Structure 1
Amino acid sequence: MRKNWRYGVPVVCIAAGFLLASAHASSQGGELRELHTSRLSDLVSDVESTVRDVEQQRDALTAQLREAQSEAASDQGVAQALDRLEPLAGPGALTEVAGPGLVVTLTDAPRDQYGNYPPGASPDDLVVHQQDLQSVLNALWAGGATAIAVQDERITTWSAPRCIGNTLLLHGRAYSPPYVITAIGDAEELEDSLDSEPGVRLFRQYAARYGLGYEVEAEDELQVAAYEGRPSLRYARPVH
């Protein structure tokens, strides 16, 4: 037994030293968790900056396209093509939509004046997650919504809301809570659909327990702006 200890202890010490050295090299002397958070924050900032630059280029190209379309509108073939495209703008989310509907607001739970969490809560219990937002969106679509916006950004079939911590990434931009979802449609049907969605019911249970914000307001007149980007279709084919 003593002989085993005599050989085992040095082996354990050498392995522990190797692991510590590897961690130090990976973190470059910094704390690993803080380094990861810092890199993630820098990545989000870089993406936002790139998106702003691309949007400026897009706006300039859109202005050139409209000018070219205006000049070419006198051509009969071009005019007919534009006439065929016009009815597709609505289903493609490229036009503004107005009407009655609901405004749903999701908010992280606040800490107390001393910065403490509610009893029995973990940090994950106190923030709005991607699945919470997705459950609300799914319920609104199922309830017959004709147009939906999150943080005034039009949601389309190409939209992919993503949450990193308590930050929402949508169309290349980062947003912080509260998250405001605007839906055009029959308010009663939309609210009934929210009430029957399992993911929404679960979020409401957490809201009641830990103080997360969940508000639903019916409005007689709402507006959802047109999608400002351009669809990128990989598998579409021309209709002959």
Structure 2
Amino acid sequence: MCGMPQQPPVRSSPTRPSRPDASMSLITNVMDHSLDDGYAEAAARRKTQGGGGLPKTLRAKLGLASGLVLAALVVTLGAAQARVAAPVVAKERQELIDRIDTETSAADRLEGSVDKLRDEVGARQRAALRSSGGSTEADLVGLLSGATPVHGPGVKLVVNDAKEASGGGEGSNPRETSGFSDTGRVRDRDMQRVVNGLWASGAEAVSINGQRLTALSAIRAAGDAILVDNKPLVPPYTVLAVGDGQKLSTRFQDSPDGLYLHALRENYGVRATISTEGDVRLPAAPSVIVRTAQPLADTTEKGTS
């Protein structure tokens, strides 16, 4: 019995498990080959040739040089434009200065004419009053009202900003509530208190930096400047007061306004000195015209019956 040849057993080769991302072949290819083949070949070729293009240091130097050239060009153009505009600006500035000088000279001439006319009017008034026998009373009224110059014993009070005074910003002045200044600058309300204190202490006539004060005078501020009858003054502020020198000085320093000035000097560096004088001279006030309201005339037409 012949047997059938025995066949070797067939062994099935094991199959490799499929990748979980087999269904995402496009994404897998992009992730595995993030660099395009063309770029990779170019990089390899450049590496084989020893590098191409300009060296990095040379490229950096060329970039820096280009930036410097551009900056120099901008500066040159700006300087040329400024040089062209400079004569025009200088000419306009000089014209403005000449105009200011001309107007100032004209104002000075007008002020001189006013003073001359005021002296003439005053002399004629006094002559007319002497002829009517009322010169003494008129002189006293003119003295007290500030209409005539005056001189005599009195005091000299000099008030100045602190040595390191600062302007201070708007809204930073605590005197809005406390009445004092932490900036070291003398303000209009300080001078108001000084003048009122001198009047209350017995002064017969007062002036600030040559400006005679009357019952119609006003001390106000425009920014950091102090105005007396709308005329700006600059520190130091020299206050002259006619009166009994020693008594006036003592009364003022002991008054609330004198103590106020002392507090400004001690706490905020405001400088103030007072001295008695044998003879101080005060000019006449620029204007003592009293303006009063007048009722309008009745212009209603009455009908006739």
User: What is the TM-score with the length of structure 1 in the denominator?
Assistant: 0.59
Q: 1:85 to 1:106 in 2, by over 3 A?
A: same
Ranges of 4+ aligned residues in structure 1 off by more than 6 Å: 81-85
Q: 1:161 to 1:80 in 2, by over 3 A?
A: same
The aligned residue for residue 193 of structure 1 is 251
The aligned residue for residue 236 of structure 2 is 178
The aligned residue for residue 220 of structure 1 is 278
User: What is the TM-score with the length of structure 2 in the denominator?
Assistant: 0.48
SS, match of residue 145 in structure 1:
coil
Q: 1:166 to 1:106 in 2, by over 3 A?
A: farther
Rounded to whole Å, the distance in 1 between the matches of 2:290 and 2:247 is 32
Q: Which amino acid aligns with 1:172?
A: N
- Which of 140, 144, 150 does residue 97 from structure 1 map onto? 150
Contact 1:104 1:215 in 2 (8 A): yes
Contact 1:166 1:177 in 2 (8 A): no
The aligned residue for residue 63 of structure 1 is 117
Pairing 1:205–2:263 present: yes
Q: 1:61 to 1:216 in 2, by over 3 A?
A: closer
* 1:193 shift after superposition: 2.3
* 1:54 shift after superposition: 10
1:53-77 Cα distance to aligned partner (Å, 9 max, x none): 599279459739948x96xx8xx99
Contact 1:135 1:197 in 2 (8 A): no
Matches within 5 A, 1:82-93: 86-87=138-139, 88-93=141-146
Bigger Cα displacement from structure 2, 190-199 vs 171-180: 190-199
Contact 2:157 2:272 in 1 (8 A): yes
Rounded to whole Å, the distance in 2 between the matches of 1:232 and 1:54 is 25
SS, match of residue 149 in structure 1:
strand
Q: Which amino acid aligns with 1:159?
A: S
SS, match of residue 144 in structure 1:
coil
1:105-130 Cα distance to aligned partner (Å, 9 max, x none): 11111229xx899xxx9794211122
* 1:171 shift after superposition: 2.1
SS, match of residue 174 in structure 1:
strand
1:150-183 Cα distance to aligned partner (Å, 9 max, x none): 1111100010011234311112211111111000
Pairing 1:127–2:181 present: no
* 1:210 shift after superposition: 2.8
Matches within 5 A, 1:101-116: 101-111=154-164
Contact 2:205 2:241 in 1 (8 A): yes
Q: 1:230 to 1:56 in 2, by over 3 A?
A: farther
Contact 2:146 2:288 in 1 (8 A): no
Structure 1 segments unaligned to the other structure (5+ residues): 1-48
Larger radius of gyration: 2
SS, match of residue 90 in structure 1:
helix
| Higher RCO by CA contacts (8 Å cutoff, separation 6 or greater) | 1
Contact 2:221 2:227 in 1 (8 A): yes
Pairing 1:143–2:183 present: no
Give me the identity figure in percent.
23
Rounded to whole Å, the distance in 2 between the matches of 1:209 and 1:90 is 38
Rounded to whole Å, the distance in 2 between the matches of 1:127 and 1:233 is 34
Rounded to whole Å, the distance in 2 between the matches of 1:156 and 1:168 is 17
